[in-house]
Structure formats: structure tokens, C-alpha cells
Amino acid sequence: MSQYGSFPGSRPRRLRTSPVMRRMVAETRLHPADFILPAFVREGVTEPVPIQAMPGVVQHTRDSLRKAAVEAVEAGVSGIMLFGVPEESKKDAYGTPGTDPEGILQVAIRDVRAEVGDDLLVMSDLCLDETVDHGHCGVLDEQGRVDNDATLERYAEMAQVQADAGAHVVGPSGMMDGQIGVVRDALDQIGREDVAILAYTAKYSSAFYGPFREAVGSSLKGDRKTYQQDPANWRESLRELALDVEEGADLVMVKPAGPYLDILARVSDAVDLPVVAYQISGEYSMVEAAAEKGWVDRDRAIFETLTGIRRAGARNILTYWAVEAARKLSVWQ
């Protein structure tokens, strides 16, 4: 016996003694198939356009997007979520590029499907914000407010043209009441029962979307607090979850991921559908900026954040590091 008392009888540190030991007892593991790559494609550009607020991320040309899709397949990533950035002159109050079969997003969906077929899940952002001149996620009424039900009409049309273009999964992201049910009905009406719906179930009004605004060339003035969720609340996430499941969602999402791990855990505990989390632009850019300053170890920070999201309950993660992380995991494993 030590003069300071008994030595510990239980020693948890024994399971941390070496990398092999830690790997063997790890409770949470990342795999390339966990990841979905968000990707932006911009109309009318001949070279990829770097996004200043998101170092290492670009607005793709159609050709560079095809290459990015092939790289994602080769890395073992499960899906690619496409966001279309139309020419500014084509935006209008109703988001016409979003329902034009020749709109940039629909063209990009066809391009990627032609390139990789069914080897990669082609997912499409189903929202009006990139295609309207006012930047909101819906149609505005005479008072300048987002008209929920008029917006649902547009979402139904968007779902059908995206499905016709070849989307495996559509992602209604505008947080309109009833959007999942309307989109499911619209898809079923054209015989596309096979197209899955990724519901943006808990999408919070967040400061961390900032870099994304540059990525999609957003025209937004003001904010989206009247339709995105209040960061102070968690119970309404479960209400939204119940509604999305009832309306026919196939997968559900929490967005952002990092600041809302508690919400992610609650949603994961409450549902038997696959749960997805979106590690958004601001989360990405903070790590990249801190790493560039030498304030954090970049690789360790990336994998710590991804592991935390997975541990909290995400089955899949949308992350701008998807391909890079998948490649490194393949080497390490």
C-alpha cells in the first residue's frame, strides 16, 4: 500500500495503451460509405471557381463535376448532393431555373448519372433559394412573406423534374410545412415511387451558413428565421420529425451538425429511419481557417469532428471533406 492510500484496482488506461488496443476497443468507427459529398455546379463557367470562404471547395463546371463524381466513387463515398448555381440573369421571383428541364441542376443530375450510373447516389437539393432573385427558400406573397402553400406547388414541380433528370434522392430543404407529403405525392403521381426523400427535418437558423451563401451565389436579404428552426428549441425538432415520418420521409436530417449534436442524438433515439447530419460550410471553414493559422492539427480536427457526429447518432454525414476523409480511411484501414 502506498503511503498515499490504495492503488486503483480498476485501470481503464489498460485499454488505451497502444494504437492497436485503442482501435480494437473503439466504439465508433468511420467508413467511406458514411459520407456524402455536397457539390456546387455553376452555369456559364469554363473553369472551376474557388469559393473564397471555403478553402479547397469550388463551384464546378459541368466537366469538373463529372470528374468529382468519379473521384467520389473511387473513394467509396456513398452519395453526392448537388446544388445548382444558375446565371444571375435567369433568376426570377418564382425560381424558374428550378423547374426548367434545362436548368443547371437538372443538367448536372443528368451529367453525373451518365458518368457514374448507379455507382453513386445522386442527390439533389430541392429548394428555391439558389434560383430566385430574392434569395428566400420559397415564393413571396404581396407582403414579402414566404407563402408556404404556394411554395409547396413549386416544390412539387421541382421534385418531378429532378426525378425525371435521374435523381436517386431528393432533399427538400426549405422547411415549409407539409413539404415531405407534397413531394412524395408529386413523385408517386409520375410513377417515381423509387425516388427516396431525404427530409431536412431539423434545419436551424444558423450563423454557420455564411460561407454557403457565397457558394450558391445567394441573393438573400434579411434572414430565414420565419421558417428555419430557432436554435433555442429542441422539442419542435421532434415534432418536425414525427410529421416528416408520417408524410413519407425515407431519411431524416439534422443541420447543422456540430452545434446540434444533442438534437442529433435525440432524433437518432426517436426514429428507426436512417439519420443524416450535414456538417455545414461554417463548420468546415472554421477548421480550415484555424489549421491555416497553425492553431489546430487539421487532420485530427477533421476526424474528431466527424467521429463526434457519427457517435451522436448520424448514420451518414454530408461533409465537404467526404472524398479526402474516405481516401485517408481507406489507407489507414
pLDDT digits 0-9 by tens, 197-212:
999 999 999 988 878 7
Higher local confidence (pLDDT), 174 or 226: 174
Please determine, for residue 11, whether its predicted confidence score (pLDDT) is greater than 80. Answer: yes
Question: pTM of the entire structure?
Answer: 0.93
Please determine, for residue 280, whether its predicted confidence score (pLDDT) is greater than 90. Answer: yes
- Answer for the pair 279, 306: CB distance below 8 angstroms, yes or no: yes
Integer Cα distance of 318 and 40 in angstroms: 13
Residues labelled catalytic: 203, 255
Looking at the DSSP assignment, which residues form a beta bridge with residue 275?
Answer: 252
Task: Give percent of the chain above pLDDT 70.
Answer: 95
Q: pLDDT tens digit string along 172-200?
A: 988 889 999 999 999 999 999 999 999 99
Looking at the DSSP assignment, which residues form a beta bridge with residue 83?
Answer: 40
77-86, 208-217, 235-244, range with the lowest pLDDT? 208-217
Q: What is the dihedral of CA 309, 310, 316, 317, to 10 degrees?
A: 30
- Answer for the pair 149, 119: CB distance below 8 angstroms, yes or no: no
